Amino acid sequence: MMMSPDACAGSRILVVGDIMLDRYWFGEVSRISPEAPVPIVRIERREERLGGAANVARNAAMLGAQVGLLGVVGADEAADTIARQLDELKIGRFLNRDPAISTIIKLRVIGRQQQLLRIDFEEAPTDIVLRDKLTQYNALLPQYDIIVLSDYAKGSLVNVADMIASATRLGKRTLVDPKGDDFSRYAGATLLTPNKSEFKRVVGSWRDEAELTTKAQQLRQTLRLEALLLTRSEEGMTLYTDAEVLHTPAMAREVFDVSGAGDTVIATMAAMLGAGKSLPEAAVLANKAGSIVVGKLGTATVTSEELFG
C-alpha cells in the first residue's frame, strides 16, 4: 500500500472536542523525601505539547492534512501556548475563549524515564460558550470533508448528537473517539473508535472472538454506524463493517508510552479517508501509526515518512 509522503495534502479535516495542554516536567530522582515516602524530583527540563483534541489535530497535520481545530479554552496563558503551537503547525484555530474557566492542563512529572505523577486542571465550559461553538461549527462544516469528534468527557461535546446530524445532512463523514458508558449520542456517525475498556463498559465482557464480533456488529447496527474500529492494545485492531471483519495484529515493538495513541489512530483514519483510502486500507495504516507512536514518550506523532517509508 504505497503512498507518497504528501498523499494526505488534499485531506480537509475539522477536529472538534476537548482541547488540552500537556505539560511535561523532566527531572532527576536521587533520593526519597524525608517528609513522606515519595521521590524528590529535581526538575531539569520542561515541555509543552498539544493534548486531547489538539493532539488529534496535530497528528493529522503531521501527516500533511489541512486541519482546523474547534473547541473551548480559557482566557489564560495556557490557551496562548496552544494558539502559538497551532499556528506553528499551520492548523486553523477556532478557539472559543471562556473567561469563566481555565484551559485544561495535564501536568506529568517524569523521573528516570517514568511517569511519577500526573496532575489535572479542568473545568467544564459554560453554556453560552458552548452555544457559540455550535453556531461556529455549523458555519465551518462546508469547508471540510472529514469531521473528527474527539470526546474526552470534559464537557466540550455535549451537543455531539446535533453535530453528527448536521455533518450527515451535508454528506460529511464523521469519526468519533467516544467516552462514557452510553454511546447512543454518537448514533449516525460514520466510524466509532473505542478502545477495549471503553467498549467493554458499553457492551459487557465476552467469552471468545465470536461473541465479541456479535456484540460489535450489534452495536454498530444499533447506532447506524458505517464501521466500528476497536483498538485492542497488544492484540491490534479490529474493523467491523457490513461487508467484513478485518483484524490487524499489533506490530511487534517495545511499548514505551500509550498516552495519545488513540489520538494518532483516529487522526490517521481521518487523513487516509480524506486522501481517498477505503476504511480497510485506512485501518491498516492507522494500526501501523499506533504501533509507531507507542514507542515514543508522551503525546507524540507519526510523520508521513515513518508511515510510508
Query: Helices 279-293 and 261-274: crossing angle, nearest 10°?
Result: 150
Q: Look up residue 186 and give its amino acid.
A: Y
Query: What distances in angstroms separate CA 29 from CA 40, 51, 110, 112, 156, one per listed residue?
Result: 6, 26, 9, 7, 37
Q: Is 263 a catalytic residue?
A: yes
Comparing CA positions, the residue from 288, 274, 268, 265 lying closest to residue 9 is 274
**Considering 22, 151, 177, 263, which one is annotated as catalytic?**
263
Tell the burial category of 153 from Cβ atoms under 10 Å away from its Cβ (0-12, 13-18, 19+): exposed
In order of 65, 138, 148, 152, the CA distances from 169 in angstroms are: 23, 11, 16, 25
List all residues 6 or more positions away from 127 whose beta carbon is below 8 Å from its beta carbon: none
CA distance 96 to 229: 30
Judge whether 173 and 209 are in contact, CB under 8 Å. no
Contact partners, residue 131, CB within 8 Å, separation at least 6: none
Residue 273 parent element (H or E): helix 261-274
Residues designated as active site: 263
